[in-house]
Amino acid sequence: MSLNALRTARAKPAGPDRTASAPAVTGFVTPIALDQRAAQGLQVKLEIDRLRDEARAVLSAAQITLDDETFGDVVADLVRAKQAYERAFSLLLDTGRALVRLQAHVGGGGYDALWNAGLTPIHPSTASKLRKIAGFVDDGILPLEMRDHMPPTLSGAYLLACLPPDDVPRVMTHLTSRHLLPSGSITVLRREVRRLTGPDDGRQRITAELDRLRSQRSKLDVQIAALEAQLNAGSHDEPDE
């Protein structure tokens, strides 16, 4: 080693190379994001406190006495049930969107073939309703401000999805004002929808019947194609002498 190289090596400080670039900081949270999270956390806490106070008053009025530990479990289960209930419509919507994409690729006959083979648990008529609900949202028929008022059940959501588009804001606003959305019984919802949309012209019945017939047609197409394939295969066989 040359004298200059030796001097340079001795002069170089021990430890990691200070000139190397510092590792990138990951997961950095801005002060604004922290403030938003704090505000959301405070809002959730206030809602739980309100729920706890109201539940205690209601149970006391109903002469139901619980110790503190059991009452805490009751409040926790109320919160869990509410959160799961509110997620129910989102799950319906996600399912409908997946079915829309699936049918776009394989068609109605292809979906029926998949169902007949046991590769999907969703009956074609139910799948048709879920796709209708997805279209109701994604085509902009459902007003954005009404999204949180959609029923979390298939029958309730499908009922609203079948409304004439021009009637949707008026009907949903009325149903919400009467506390029938999002959790009113389907029987009451149907009665109110019929009353609000005028004389029953059979629109919903016809829509349901069309869905049923389309499902049957798709199944028949699959069966016909299978039989034709068998017939064509048999026509190539030579008859026995």
Please name the residues in contact with 92: beta carbons below 8 A apart, sequence gap of 6 or more: 130, 133, 152, 154, 157
213, pLDDT greater than 70: yes
Dihedral angle, C-alpha 192, 197, 198, 204, nearest 10 °? -90
Q: Are 186 and 155 in contact (CB under 8 A)?
A: yes
Q: Mean pLDDT throughout 141-162?
A: 94
Give counts: helices (H), strands (E), the chain: 8, 0
Predicted pLDDT at 237: 53
CA distance 121 to 119: 7
Q: 156 is written with which tokens?
A: 């309730």
Q: Read off the pTM.
A: 0.61
Segment 178-198 mean pLDDT: 91
- Are 87 and 150 contacting, i.e. CB atoms less than 8 angstroms apart? no
Please tell me the predicted confidence (pLDDT) of residue 209.
Answer: 73
The pLDDT of residue 132 is 96
Higher pLDDT, 34 or 127: 127
State residue 124's pLDDT score: 93
What pLDDT, on a 0 to 100 scale, did the predictor assign at position 189? Answer: 95
Summarised one tens digit per residue, pLDDT across range 67-94 is 999 999 999 999 898 888 888 999 999 9
Residue reference for tokens 């954005």: 144
DSSP secondary structure letters along 169-187: HHHHHHHHHTT-TTT--HH
Given a cut of 70, whether residue 166 has pLDDT beyond it is yes
pLDDT in tens, 215-229: 778 778 888 888 888
In the chain, the largest separation of any two C-alpha atoms, in whole Å, equals: 105
Q: Encode pLDDT of 15-42 as tens digits.
A: 444 444 444 444 555 666 566 777 667 7
> Most confidently modeled of 2-11, 37-46, 60-69?
60-69
What is the three-class DSSP state of 6?
A: helix
Q: Please report, rounded to a whole number, the percentage of residues in the chain having pLDDT higher than 70.
A: 77
